[in-house]
Structure 1
Amino acid sequence: MREKNSLIISKLLKNMSPHPQFVSVHGGHSGQFCDHAIDSLEEIILRYIELGFSWVGVTEHTPAISSPLLDPGQVQAGLTPELLLATFTEYMKECRRLQEKYKDELTIFAAMEIETYSGYEQFVPFLLDRFQPDYIVGSVHFVDDISIDYSQKTYAQAVQKLGGVDELYKRYFDLQYEMIERFRPSVVGHFDLIRIFDADYKTRLMKPAILEKIRRNLQLIHELDLIMDLNLRSLVKGADEPYISRPILKLAGEMGISVVPGDDSHGVQSVGGFMNTGINLLEDLGFSTNWKKPQLYRY
């Protein structure tokens, strides 16, 4: 009987799939290079290594193109577009240094997260040419030059400017579509960030006019074979689900879109935050956990 049980256990173990690797397709913001993060980039990299990550994309925010696009925190800190560009230059240098230093312990991608404010159509190509990141994360933080995720106050300003929450959602997804079509980012960041200060987002996302735009954007992501970031940052802040919300995740899964976890870490403490929760969610919805790596940008 003992021998039979041993054979059964051995067979079960053999058939069990290995635990999915820890990766982050969107992470590594540090206090060294980002005014709303903490800790040095090297400390953050060492934490990824400590937690056994296989690879990570360090995806620092691109600098503001003009003073009106600085967020209130940056203004208070006395930052300027020129200072932010100089800081971003140092970020890329440091990221390349760490990439080489820790290459035997962790695969590091030196990437950047782009914005959608006025002039980005010209500014992003300038940044790509100057810094040649490994890949870009295409995100929408600004709707008609108003930050929608900085605070409830700025979100309300965007709602007022667009003429209502539904209109803000529709404009957000239109900007996202334009950005994806123009730059084909390897990773689409926190797809439904627009819900951040909307208590009724679960109902709103399913409204026909909004859902139509969501389906359209997902179809483009599918056609371009891009990765969607399962952004776990919202869980760190107390939300009950990550960006992307479950109904949109189901649609993405039906289309065969690759979805990869991103911890969107902003310091050592948030590195790998809720990674198991994200992996379990993707497994539950039938997504592959043989993680697709971002397509490197061709120069």
Structure 2
Amino acid sequence: MNNQQYVSVHGGHSGQFCHHAKDMLEDIILKYIDLGYSWVGVTEHVPAISKELLYPDQVEAGFTPEFLMDRFAGYVEECRRLQKKYADTITIYTAMEIETYSGYDTFIPMLLERFQTDYIVGSVHFVNDMGFDYSLKQYDNTAKSVGGYDTMYCRYFDLQYDMIKLLKPSVVGHFDLIRIFDPEYRFRLRKPEISKRVVRNLELIMDLGLIMDYNLRSLLKGADEPYITDSILRMAQDMGIKVVPGDDSHGLDNIHLNMEQAVKTLDSLGFDTNWPRPQIYSY
């Protein structure tokens, strides 16, 4: 490795601002500092656009889109404060992880204009306005509603392509998240109708010079490899696409987990470990 310092391009979710995370944001920043991270992107989830698109745990907690919008505003304010407070020790990016559902094409630009975050992580967690990553039951229900796993994969990658083309996110989050509950994903990703979409999306990422998130959170959920799966990761390397690790941490206890092995993997494949930084939005 040319650079021994660690980074996370997608991480820093906290219980302070995310219902399915834990711990206070400042404590999370202090742990990154203790571990010697040179920079970290704090990429909190955007608020829901409507009550129909709340996550099941948010519904159970009685949250509303208005509450989530206010909490997100508090997140940006607090992250900016920490950005300044620890500027001599670590570079903190105040960023946001977006959603891709009906209305996002105007909702996300509105959030960017209002909050002026440093960058966005372009993620897809919904297909046809139905979530798929919350549970196996939800995953199977969404697949069934659109005509099966293959169709769900195709629609996922089509949504991802449209989102990347429209918003040009500095970071593309967990590129192949759609495989989250599919034990046959390696086989499925090779199917022609799916594979051609993967290649198409990679070509767009390459042309736009975006970063792909090498996302480690899948390992915490029992997967045997991060997002991006090895076959796609090698294609990205062959195309010269920038790939940077993200721990996608949701609390103190999973910051940095599996990071050392991830860095070794990326280094062994020839990725630049003088980690390229996300392009900061100009407003």
Give the TM-score taking structure 1 as reference length. 0.93
Pick one of 229, 253, 257 that aligns with 1:269: 253
Pick one of 280, 288, 292 that aligns with 2:272: 288
Percent identical residues: 63
Q: State the partner residue of 1:12.
A: none
Provide, for residues 119-150 of structure 1, a one-character-per-residue CA deviation record: whole Å limited to 9, x for no partner.
Answer: 10110011001000000000000111111101
Which structure has the larger Rg? 1
1:65 maps onto 2:59 in alignment: no
Pick one of 115, 118, 132 that aligns with 1:131: 115
Provide, for residues 210-266 of structure 1, a one-character-per-residue CA deviation record: whole Å limited to 9, x for no partner.
Answer: 010000000000000000000000112221000000000000000000000000000
Trace 1:243-254 onto structure 2 (pairs within 5 A): 243-254=227-238
CA offset at residue 18 of structure 1?
A: 4.5
Distance across 2 between alignment mates of 1:160 and 1:151: 14
Pick one of 27, 37, 42 that aligns with 1:53: 37
Is the Cα contact below 8 Å between 2:101 and 2:128 reproduced in 1?
yes
Is the Cα contact below 8 Å between 1:263 and 1:273 reproduced in 2?
yes
Pick one of 180, 185, 194 that aligns with 1:210: 194
Gap regions ≥5 residues in structure 2: none
Gap regions ≥5 residues in structure 1: 1-16
Distance across 1 between alignment mates of 2:127 and 2:253: 30
Provide, for residues 190-226 of structure 1, a one-character-per-residue CA deviation record: whole Å limited to 9, x for no partner.
Answer: 0000000000001111111101000000000000000
Q: Which one-letter code corresponds to 2:14 in the other structure?
A: S
1:179 maps onto 2:163 in alignment: yes
Q: State the partner residue of 2:17.
A: 33
Give the TM-score taking structure 2 as reference length. 0.99
Distance across 2 between alignment mates of 1:66 and 1:267: 26
1:20 maps onto 2:4 in alignment: yes
Distance across 1 between alignment mates of 2:154 and 2:278: 27
Q: Which one-letter code corresponds to 1:155 in the other structure?
A: Y
Q: CA RMSD in A?
A: 0.8
